[in-house]
Chains A and B, each alone.
Chain A
Amino acid sequence: MSSQLLGNVRQANSPGLRDLFIQFLTIGAVSFGGGIIAYERILLVEKRQWLSADEFMAYLAIGQTMPGLNSVNMAVLAGDHLRGVLGAIVATLGLILPGSIFVLGIGLIYVNTADHPSINLILGGIAAAATGLLAAITYKIGDAHWRHVKSLAIIIFTFILMSIFKLALPYVILIMAPISIYLYRPIKSQ
């Protein structure tokens, strides 16, 4: 493939492990409120031009198809692309390190002060907003699927199996995956 032919050319543009770590660490530290994929795109495609826009989209698609968080998968794939296995490890660690420290810090306070009435009141308000945020994100990610009959049917049926019939997730996926793949099977051209 042409991307492999270009490999030698790109070496000049490929970052040191330390640089890679620091860049992803920065994203991990500043990405309050989500939208990490956007930060990653700015870094990888615009700021450093480590990936072409096309490569970024291809990796995003793989990351979305595979299990796991899209932002973490992007770090894995971009890191591997740029510096192999070590690059993947370094980029992923950089991305999750700041949040891990942050979350653990607040988590320690929460676990050790749980059931304090005023903290529970604040968390009650925060949880309500987090629900609204999650609903908004779900609506945005759903995008065109809400207006697409086939997609909407799959969405509703999945929701019913999971939330109304309360099936365990592996069964929901075992039931829904074959049905959805059949509905979206490739249509042979000619």
Chain B
Amino acid sequence: MSLLIHLVWTFALLSILAVGGGTAVLPEMQTILAHQFGIDHTQFVHIYSIGQLAPSPNMLMVLVIGYQIAGLIGAGVVLLSFFLPSSLMCFYMGRLWNRFGESPWRRTIQNALEPTSIGLMCSGVYAVAKASVVSSITLALALTTLYLILRTKINPVLVILGSGGLGALLMFYLN
């Protein structure tokens, strides 16, 4: 029971802090999960990658984290705690917005939050990279993906699946 409460508290806090989307809380999530729930960085990156393969918002991978920690109940608890608080805030903000309309401070807050959340996203990239870019092969795969996503219109899921297959073959035969 205390484990579930701990999960609720952890993911509700992450939800409220997820300004600019889920990626901003990735490093924090990774740290908390490693220190308090025993999910190591490699497991975390694997679960994160599963989220990238799925349709719908990729942060739904928190379900797998919940499942890993406390089974199906854990998955449900994490889903609610991660999506409900931010959605409620957004809901009420939307209603307030319709009442008050444009204000120069709204623009200010958005301008100010954007670079902060991009900085946090950079930390997210760094956190995920530290756990996933562990050899010259994985570095090459990461850079190739970066290039393909920026320069072509290819669907990211195909790139990721291709990288999974190619990576497995290369690592199997070269190591």
Contacts and interface: CB of A to CB of B under 8 A. Distances in A.
Interface of A: 1, 3-4, 28-34, 36, 58-59, 61-73, 76-77, 80-81, 85, 88, 92, 95-100, 102-104, 106-108, 110-111, 114, 118, 120-142, 145, 148, 150-152, 154-159, 162-163, 166, 168-170, 172-173, 176-177, 180-181, 183-186
A141 B111 CA distance: 13
A65 B110 contact: yes
Interface residues of B, number: 111
A33 B167 CA distance: 19
Given A103-B63, A128-B163, A131-B125, A158 B119 contact: yes
B86 A66 contact: yes
Interface of B (DSSP majority class): helix
B50 A103 contact: yes
Nearest to A178: B112
B56 A36 contact: yes
A136 B148 CA distance: 9
Given A29-B55, A180-B113, A159 B126 contact: yes
Contacts of B111: 180, 184
A99 B79 CA distance: 12
The A interface, classified by DSSP as helix, strand, loop or mixed, is helix
B133 to A, nearest CB: 6
Most buried by B among A33, A80, A136: A33
A155 B55 contact: no
Contacts of B155: 32-33
B7 interface: no
B56 A31 contact: yes
Contact of B122 (A30, A64, A138): A138
A136 B149 contact: yes
Given A95-B56, A96-B56, A186 B123 contact: no
Given A66-B86, A103-B63, A98 B56 contact: yes
A151 B114 CA distance: 8
B86 A100 contact: no
Contacts of A181: 108-109, 112
